[in-house]
Amino acid sequence: MSMKEIERIEERGILVGVNLKHDEHFTYSMEELANLAEALDVEVVGSVTQNLERVTPSHYVGTGKIEEIKAFYEEADANIVIFNDELSPSQIRNLERDLECKVIDRTMLILDIFSRRAKTKEAQMQVELAQLQYMLPRLVGLHASLSRQGGGTGGGFKNRGAGETKLELDRRKIEDQIAKLRRDLEHAKAQRETQRKQRRKNAIPVVSIVGYTNAGKSTIMNQLLAKAGQHEEKQVFEKDMLFATLDTSVRNIELEDHKAFLLTDTVGFVSKLPHHLVKAFRSTLEEAREADLLLHVVDVSNEEYRFMMDVTNATLKEVGVEEIPTIYVYNKSDLAGVEYPLMSGDNLWIAAKEGVGLDELLTMIRKHIFADYVTCKMLIPYDVGAVVSYLNEHATIFSTDYEEQGTLLNLELKEADYRKYSQYVAE
C-alpha cells in the first residue's frame, strides 16, 4: 500500500450528543455534526444520544452511557468518538481514560475544518490563534492522550499531527506564540482599517454578504459579478459544502450608469461556533460592521432556516454588527417550492444558482445605497472643463447642451458631489 493510500484511510467516527431540556433544534444539531465530520472525510458509523436536564460534569454524558458508547464503538469498528459540544479539559481526560479511545469535541472539529480551508495569511493566523487558545487549558489531557495513542489514527485530523508538535512545546512557548499572533493580527487589522478609511474617503458604498454556512453567499457574489460584466478571475470559490470560503473577498461592482459599490463577503456562521473562533475572526467580521447595507442570505429550502437566521443574527450582535439596514435574501427558493423571484419590503426570494432574482436584488440594493442621489441641471463654464470630465466619469448624464456661458448638463449625481459643485447648479 502506498503512502497516499494510507493517508486516504478514513476515520470511522461515532457521534455522541446530549439533548438538554428537550432542545427543539437537537436533531438538526446532530445532522450538522455529521456534516462537519464528513467535511473532514470522517465516515460516520453511528450515533448515541441521551436526554438530560443538565450535562454530567465529569463525563458530559451520564456515566451509565459510557458502557453503551464503548460497546457500540467496538462493534462498529470505529476509531474516534465525536461529541456535539465543547468538552472541558477534565471531561476529555475522563472520557478518553474510560472509553480507551480518541475523543474529539465539536469545537476541535470546526477548528480543524477552518485550518484546512483558510487560504490567506490572516485567516491562517486567526485559526491558529483559536487553536492555541483552545489547546492551552487542555495541555494535560492532550499530553496523556498522545502518550497513550501515539497521536491518533490513520486518516486525519490535521490538528492532531500539528497538535502533537505544538504540545511538545511548554505552556510558555504556546503563550508566546499566542502573543505574537495577536500582534501580527493587530497589524493586519490596522492595514484593513486603513483600506476601509480609504474607501470611506472615496465615498464608495459597501454592501456586505452575511449568513449561515452553505446558504449560497459565494454563488450570489459570483452572479452579481457576472451581471456587472466582471471577469472570471474575480469570481470567488463556491462549493456545496460547509465553510467553502473563509477568507473575506472584496469586489468592486460597477453598474452601467457610473454607480459602483463594494461587495464583501464574510465567513459563514454555524450553530455553536467556537467562542475562540468568533473572537479570532472579529476583525474579519468587522467588514460587516462598516457596511452601508447587509445582504443576509438564507437557505430557505432548509426547514431549520429560521434557526439559522437566529444564529447568524446572534453572532453578528456578538461582534457589534447592529442597526445596519438589511435585505433578507431567501435563496434556493427553487428547492423550497416557493414563489420566486418575489419582493416584499426588504425581503426577496431568489434562486441564485439559476440566476433568477438577481435583477430584483440589484434594484433593492440601489434603492438602499443610492438614495442620496440628486437629479439637477448644472451650467459649467468652459474654462473649468475638468469639472465636466469628472462628472462624465462619476455621474449619470442624461443630456449635454453647449450654451454661450458653458456646458449645460442634465444629470444625476451623489449628494456629496452635488454639494461640492453646487455653485454650478442651474435653476
pTM: 0.78
CATH of the domain at 20: 3.40.50.11060
pLDDT value for 138: 81
Q: Let me know whether 328 and 385 are in one domain.
A: no
Q: Quick one: what percent of the chain has pLDDT higher than 90? A: 51
pLDDT value for 364: 95
Alpha-helix residue ranges (DSSP H) falling in 352-414: 358-369, 385-394
Q: Which of 120-124, 286-290, 304-308 has the lowest mean pLDDT?
A: 286-290
Domain that holds residue 277: 204-369
Confidence of residue 113 (pLDDT cuts 50, 70, 90): confident
| 193 assigned to some structural domain | no
Q: Let me know whether 387 and 330 are in one domain.
A: no
Q: Which amino acid is at 298?
A: V
* Sequence-ordered list of residues with C-beta below 8 angstroms from that of 111, at least 6 positions apart, any chain: 127, 130, 131, 134, 159, 274, 276, 277
Q: Let me know whether 221 and 238 are in one domain.
A: yes
| 306 assigned to some structural domain | yes
Domains in the chain, number: 3
- Dmax (CA) for the chain in angstroms is 95
Give per-residue pLDDT as tens, 20-63: 999 999 999 999 999 899 888 899 999 999 999 999 999 999 98
Confidence of residue 409 (pLDDT cuts 50, 70, 90): very high
Q: Let me know whether 219 and 157 are in one domain.
A: no
Backbone φ and ψ of 51, nearest 5°: -95, 125
Grid cell, residue 1, equals 500500500
Q: Let me know whether 135 and 257 are in one domain.
A: no
| 192 assigned to some structural domain | no
How far is residue 223's CA from residue 215's CA, in Å, rounded to a whole number? Answer: 14
Q: Let me know whether 13 and 157 are in one domain.
A: yes
pLDDT value for 11: 87
Q: Which of 194-198, 246-250, 284-288 has the lowest mean pLDDT?
A: 246-250
Mean pLDDT in residue range 354-361: 94
Residue bearing the bigger pLDDT, 192 or 55: 55
Give per-residue pLDDT as tens, 209-224: 999 988 888 899 989 9
Domain boundary among 323, 338, 369: 369
Count Cβ atoms within 10 A of the Cβ of residue 397 and give its class: 0-12 exposed, 13-18 middle, 19 or more buried.
Answer: middle
Report which of 58, 113, 103, 60 is spatially closest to residue 79, judged by C-alpha positions: 103
Q: Is residue 3 over pLDDT 50?
A: no
CA distances from 104 to 86, 115, 257 (A): 9, 16, 54
Element (H, E) at 412: strand 407-414
Give per-residue pLDDT as tens, 358-405: 999 999 999 999 888 899 999 999 999 999 999 988 888 999 999 999
CATH of the domain at 219: 3.40.50.300
Q: Let me know whether 281 and 419 are in one domain.
A: no
Q: Let me know whether 123 and 255 are in one domain.
A: no
Domain boundary among 322, 343, 369: 369
Strand arrangement, sheet containing 326-331: 250-254, 260-265, 206-211, 293-299, 326-331, 347-349, 342-344
Q: Let me know whether 144 and 253 are in one domain.
A: no
Give per-residue pLDDT as tens, 284-295: 677 788 888 999
Mean pLDDT in residue range 312-338: 92
Sole residue written with cell 435653476: 427
Q: Let me know whether 338 and 352 are in one domain.
A: yes
| 175 assigned to some structural domain | no
SS3 413: strand
| 184 assigned to some structural domain | no
Q: Let me know whether 219 and 353 are in one domain.
A: yes
Q: Which amino acid is at 423?
A: Q
Element (H, E) at 18: strand 11-20
Confidence of residue 272 (pLDDT cuts 50, 70, 90): confident
β-pairing, 342-344 vs 347-349, is antiparallel
SS3 52: strand
Q: Is residue 347 over pLDDT 80?
A: yes
| 238 assigned to some structural domain | yes
How far is residue 96's CA from residue 105's CA, in Å, rounded to a whole number? Answer: 12
Q: Let me know whether 256 and 132 are in one domain.
A: no
Confidence of residue 91 (pLDDT cuts 50, 70, 90): very high
| 189 assigned to some structural domain | no
| 85 assigned to some structural domain | yes
Task: Transcribe 137-161 into DSSP letters.
Answer: GGHHHHHHHHHHHSS--SS--HHHH
SS (H, E, C) 226-289: HHCCCCHHHCCCCCCCCCCCCCCCEEEEECCCCCEEEEEECCCECCCCCHHHHHHCHHHHHHHH
pLDDT value for 2: 35
Q: Is residue 271 over pLDDT 80?
A: yes
Q: Is residue 244 over pLDDT 90?
A: no
* Sequence-ordered list of residues with C-beta below 8 angstroms from that of 319, at least 6 positions apart, any chain: 278, 281, 282, 285, 286, 288, 289
Domain boundary among 369, 387, 405: 369
How far is residue 134's CA from residue 141's CA, in Å, rounded to a whole number? Answer: 12
Q: Is residue 90 over pLDDT 50?
A: yes
